[in-house]
Amino acid sequence: MKTNNKPTWLDYLNALKNRGIEAEQLKLTGFDDFFLANNFAQSFFMHSIPFIYLLDYQSGLYINMSENFAGYSAECFLKDGINHTLEIYQQDHLRLFDEEIFPDRLRILEEIAPEDHKNHIFSYQSLIRNRYGQHEHFLQRNCFISDEERNPVYSMGILIKINDFGDYSPVVQTVERVDTGREKENELICKKIYYLNKEDQIFSKREKEVLSWMAEGLSSKMIADKLFVSEHTVINHRRSMQQKSNMPNAIALVGFAIKSGII
């Protein structure tokens, strides 16, 4: 289909709608038939589906693991269990998960009925060394099956490679509650940002200036006039500080700063 100008997606669809395609191989009578009959379709889905795992926390062994995760055979995980994961986990990311992210998960689960743990999805991004020695970014989404005392016993999840979607520092964890009746969208329970380098959480000199004026009750426009910058710049400083401190709004941010002795 040749045009003088590049068509938009909607323009392209409208143009294609009125154009018959007679090639028999492009007629799809059913998704299953299409998938089974076309090698390229099988290849696409094979390389696009997420990796799936089921980990037994009691034994430290994987009950199930997809083939070829980060280039490793499933046998590596099934045989060596969590030890293999610890070997290929980038050490700064492992420390962050071990010392901050997982303890926060336990605190969250403490507030949830044990039978409801499986209906909460925890997501965060991590860095894994593949079998060729290169580090790759993966988004992990998992839920827990827990005992009556709210202790996670099984972790079931998926891992999706996200190498090509930008910078993944800091690390973001979200927790969603799934509507098992599928009548509502997932409910975001919490979102928290974690920093691999603690220096990244330190407020800059300019951010502290903005914060001091915020504590005086000045609006973003008024602070911008004081500092001879744009209002947009002030808003960006405020958002940066809220992200660094995991505070939900300006009032909470000022309270945090006063309590922490920042201002």
Domain ranges of the chain: 51-197, 202-260
Q: pLDDT tens digits for 176-216?
A: 999 877 677 889 999 999 998 877 788 888 989 999 999 99
Specify the pTM.
Answer: 0.73
Determine the CATH number of domain 51-197: 3.30.450.20
* Residues of the chain falling short of pLDDT 50: 1, 23, 25
Cα angle, residue 206 at apex, residues 201 and 211 outer, rounded to 5°: 75
CATH topology assigned to domain 202-260: Arc Repressor Mutant, subunit A (1.10.10)
Q: pLDDT tens digits for 117-128?
A: 999 999 999 999
Give the Cα separation of 83 and 77 in Å (integer).
8
